[in-house]
Chains A and B, each alone.
Chain A
Amino acid sequence: MSVLNKFCLKGKNALIYAPQFIYGEEIASGLSEAGAKLWFCGEDTEALRLLEDKLNSSGVSIEGVIEYHQGSEENAICLVRKVREKIGKLDIFVDNGSNGLLKGWTHTYEEIYEDLRRTQLGLMLTVKHIGALMAEQDYGSIIFISNYAALVGCDVHKYEDNLEKFDEDFSLTYGFVKGSYVNYTRQAAGYLGEHNVRCNCIAFAPMYDEESEDFSRAFIRHSHLKRMTSAEDIKAAVVFLASDASSYITGVTLPVDGGYTAK
């Protein structure tokens, strides 16, 4: 088999949770371009439909949208039931859900709890049940989308001309949630490995148009490749970890950050 065929996702079914958030559009495009059939799931079905329309207009077709309110066992079981009915064999699951986290460092306990309940409790229950489904199939690739904040802290010097923005932006929960993926990936990989289900994580750097000029300039100055993450970087990394090209890779967190965290 040609090595290029290893990256091909023809005949594979992929489900993306919360693709309406940053990186989701590129993840969907990449998986589709590589030949996978795509489904979306998430709470905000209106946002998912809007993304579906947008992608359709650029030639990416979405097979279906499944309403899924992450955060309860009952809903996770229901998701798996719908996956069986609508998709059948699920080869690829991408979690893109840890977004919209609190900004700022000082919060009430209730705010902190709600942020973590929504992201972490939901994640664990989803992976427990999707993982079980893939274990039955004896095949699957689970990909967690995190970002470079999982690997390094925030550089205060990026904000040195604007410390007020630093205080406003800096999140009490962000680093905790993003970082929790790193070893959860290893833990899930450890349990699911003997069922031929792989679990990996991608730590993306920000994209250029998501950040201010000042932030982007400071980020680029610190990175080896002197640019922010491009759409192609996102597509290629996801396809690699989704496909059989990475069939012996599990439990890793892959930085896709131009070398930002390599120094």
Chain B
Amino acid sequence: MNTLDMFSLKGKVALITGGRTMYGKGCSIALVDAGAKLYLASHSVDAARKTAKELSSRGSEEVEVIEFHQEDPKSIKNMVDYVVEKEGRIDIFVNCSRVIPRGEGRGWFQDEGALEWSVRVNSAGMLYMNMLVGEQMIRQRSGSIINFGSMMGLVGVEKHNYDGEPAMAEGAHSHDYALNKSGIIAWTRHAASYYGRYGVRVNTLCPGGLASDRTPARFSKNYGKHTQLGRLANEYDIRGPLLFLASDASAYITGVSIPVDGGYTCI
């Protein structure tokens, strides 16, 4: 087989959560460009349909939208059942969704409501959806699961990144984000152990900060100084790593968490 063909997703069925914006959109683009049939699960159905239309114009298959609410276990199950009913399989599952906690207080002062919401949605919801997709992949005896950790699951906060940006600094010390992302990284190794004998691979991407139109210039500069490549991530940086883990190019890789952070965590 030609090496580049190993990256092809032609004939594969992919399901993505949180694939509408930011890093998630980059992942959706990579999956579509590589030829996968993509199901885009989102709580914002109208906005997701617009994204799906845009994505469909890039690939040979139409991208379908599934309404999905991570706080609702029935909705999670419906999402998985829908794809299995339509396609009979799920070859690739990418979970990029993360819900911002609903509650009072920011950073270290997050209140019980915010922390409970995060445990309910980002932790319990994440494990439950992985478990359901995993059951299907066990039946298939194949599959690639990719979750989103973060560089903030690998290291603590560099306060100087927020110099001159007090509002951002206030939110940086949240309890739930580091706890959740650290848990995902460790869980990846356990899930790889559990699913390995069924031919199912489980890996995690740990991206760094992503530049957007709203990123303050001073933060970009501060943060860039902390990376080896001197910059925040751009919209293209996630695509290659995602496609590598999704495709047979990484057939012997399982249980890893790959920092995609411009070298932020290497010092």
Q: CB distance A183 to B182 under 8 Å? A: yes
The complex places the Cα of A176 from the Cα of B126 at a distance, in Å, of 11
Q: CA separation between A117 and B115, bound complex, in Å? A: 9
Question: In residues 137-162 of chain B, which contact A (Cβ within 8 Å)?
Answer: 152-157, 159
Chain B residues with Cβ below 8 Å from A189 are 156
Would B194 and A183 count as touching, CB distance under 8 A? no
Q: How far is the CB of B187 from the nearest CB of chain A, in Å?
A: 4
Contact between A124 and B196, CB atoms less than 8 A apart: no
Task: Please state if A183 and B120 are interface contacts (CB–CB under 8 Å).
Answer: no
**Chain B residues in 8 Å Cβ range of A184:** 175, 178-179, 182
Nearest Cβ in chain A — how far from B186, in angstroms?
Answer: 2
Return the CB mask of A94-108 against B: 1 if under 8 Å, else 0.
000000000001111
Answer whether A183 and B181 are a contact pair too, CB < 8 Å, given A152-B189, A154-B190, A154-B193.
yes
Are the CB atoms of B119 and A187 closer together than 8 Å? Answer: no
Number of A-B residue pairs with CB-CB distance less than 8 Å in the complex they form? 145
Complex: how many Å from CA A84 to CA B233?
A: 46
* A191/B108 in contact, CB under 8 A: yes
Bound Cα distance A172, B132 (Å): 12
Given contact pairs A113-B119, A113-B120, A154-B194, A125 touches B112 in the complex (Cβ within 8 A): yes
Contact at A124–B197, with CB atoms within 8 Å? Answer: no
Q: Are B192 and A153 in contact (CB under 8 A)?
A: yes
**Is B116 in contact with chain A by the CB < 8 A criterion?**
yes
A186 contacts partner chain B, Cβ-Cβ < 8 Å: yes
Residue of A with least CB distance to B129: A109
The residues of A that contact B116 with a CB separation of less than 8 Å are 117, 121
Which A5-64 residues sit within 8 Å CB-CB of chain B? Answer: none
Q: With A175-B189, A190-B159 as given contacts, are A106 and B179 in contact (CB-CB < 8 Å)?
A: no
Q: Could you name 10 residue pairs across A and B whose Cβ atoms are closer than 8 Å?
A: A109-B124, A113-B119, A120-B183, A128-B108, A128-B109, A153-B192, A154-B194, A170-B190, A178-B186, A183-B182
For the complex of A and B, 5 pairs with smallest distance between CB atoms? A179-B186, A175-B190, A183-B182, A180-B183, A186-B156
Q: Residues of A with Cβ closer than 8 Å to B?
A: 72-73, 105-110, 112-113, 116-117, 120-121, 123-125, 127-128, 131, 149-156, 170-184, 186-187, 189-191, 251
Interface residues of B (CB under 8 A from A): 73, 76, 107-112, 115-116, 119-120, 123-125, 127-128, 131, 134-135, 152-157, 159, 173-187, 189-194, 196-197, 255
